[in-house]
Amino acid sequence: VAEGLDRYVHLTSETKDGCPVRLSANIEMLEELSAVLRYGSEGIGLFRSEFDFFQGIRPPTEEAQLATYSRLLATMAPHPVTIRTLDVGGDKILARFPGNKAWLDRERNPALGLRSIRFSLYEREIFRCQVRALLRASVHGRLRVLLPLVSTLQELRQAKEMIHDSMNALAAEGIPFDQDLEIGVLIEVPSAVIMSDVLAMEVDFFAIGTNDLIQYSLAIDRGNQYVAHLYDPFHPAVLRMIRQTVDAGHARAIPVSLCGEMAGDPLCAPLLIGFELDELSMRPAVIPWIKRLLRHSHSGELHLLAQEVLHCADSGEVRACVTDFFQRFY
């Protein structure tokens, strides 16, 4: 931990006036757990479970997944661990699976294709196996299951039905699991934002995935260097969508986190806290930086900044507001 920041590792993450904001970690491998603990993370806000699926030529077995998830949960307990179900396709191609069954690598427009929850609902055996491993691991800590790229209510309901079917199957087999585990949806396509008031009625939490939300709302390929200058987290459309999602979640009393790269960007974090996000999840090493920022901020000032940017016409104006804010308060 950088000098001067080490004292923040053990301090609570809250604003100057005592409003708590959970700062948690985005990781994809167990090897990162030591960093998670070192930087004082209060949980895992995003475990990208697909990493293990890229290692071999077939999906990891239920037992192998169980071992990974159990270790995650046990290490982080009593903090919550959010495990995202398989998020393949788009920029995350399962190229090594035998035959590849004609999906994924032959799609003309993979970002709009058979990815994430769509893949899981298509290759149901792979999903069922992962869900069983998640449920079995849930007795070791506090599990939150996160469903990626949901764009319709029907997808959410189908995924939840499969989870409940697996719960019934495990109960019949006499295998324990946590009945209270939470199920949430990753808000990362515009349709999910627009329907977030409806989705909020059917889940225990929201996580906002701005990496994809920016891509899909601004129609900018997140991996394309020629349009990278247009990939802009300060676009007011993106900010209004974040605000709308937080409001929809809170209207139903469910917590809302944000786990895109924006969460760990010091220029974005004050805004996000001003939008009343309950949790920001980021690369472990940036947690002390954001915590320092948080502890030097007053929630009232952050709320005013957040209100102000919602009236901006373009990202240039947003940037000017944020720069002015930093000059006044830090």
As annotated, the active-site residues are 259
Minimum distance between the CB of residue 314 and Mg ion, rounded to whole angstroms?
25
Residue 12 within binding range of ligand PEP, rule CB under 6 A: no
Among ligand PEP, Mg ion, none, partner that 146 touches (CB below 5 to 8 angstroms by kind) = none
Binding site, annotated residues for phosphoenolpyruvate: 48, 84, 211-212, 222
- Of 250-289, binders to ligand PEP (CB under 6 A) are 259-260
Closest CA to 39 of 316, 306, 284: 284
Give the residue, chosen from 48, 283, 303, 319, that forms a contact with ligand PEP under the rule CB under 6 A.
48
Give the residue, chosen from 120, 210, 217, 315, that forms a contact with ligand PEP under the rule CB under 6 A.
210
Minimum distance between the CB of residue 138 and ligand PEP, rounded to whole angstroms?
22
For residue 70, how many other CB atoms are within 10 A of its CB?
A: 17
- DSSP assigned state of 126: H
Count of residues in contact with ligand PEP, rule CB under 6 A: 10
Q: Report the DSSP pairing between strands 44-48 and 256-258.
A: unpaired
Residue 209 within binding range of Mg ion, rule CB under 5 A: yes
Q: What angle do CA 31, 261, 157 make, to 5 degrees?
A: 85
Contact between residue 112 and residue 121 where contact means Cβ atoms under 8 Å apart = no
Nearest residue to Mg ion, using CB? 212
CA distances in angstroms from 194 to 53, 159, 161, 191, 217, listed in the order given: 32, 20, 23, 5, 11
- Of 137-176, binders to ligand PEP (CB under 6 A) are none
Give the residue, chosen from 46, 134, 145, 242, that forms a contact with ligand PEP under the rule CB under 6 A.
46
Please state, in angstroms and rounded to a whole number, the distance separating the CA atoms of residues 276 and 163: 30
Residue 212 within binding range of Mg ion, rule CB under 5 A: yes
Please state, in angstroms and rounded to a whole number, the distance separating the CA atoms of residues 223 and 214: 12
**Contact characters 155-184, Mg ion, x per CB under 5 A:** ------------------------------
3-state secondary structure of 252: coil
Compute φ and ψ for 209, nearest 5 degrees: -105, 90
- Contact window for Mg ion (CB under 5 A) among 78-86, 208-216, 235-243, 304-312: 208-216
For residue 229, how many C-alpha atoms fall within 13 Å in the half-sphere facing its CB? 2
Q: Footprint of Mg ion on this chain (CB under 5 A)?
A: 188, 209, 212
Q: Footprint of ligand PEP on this chain (CB under 6 A)?
A: 46, 48, 87, 188, 209-212, 259-260
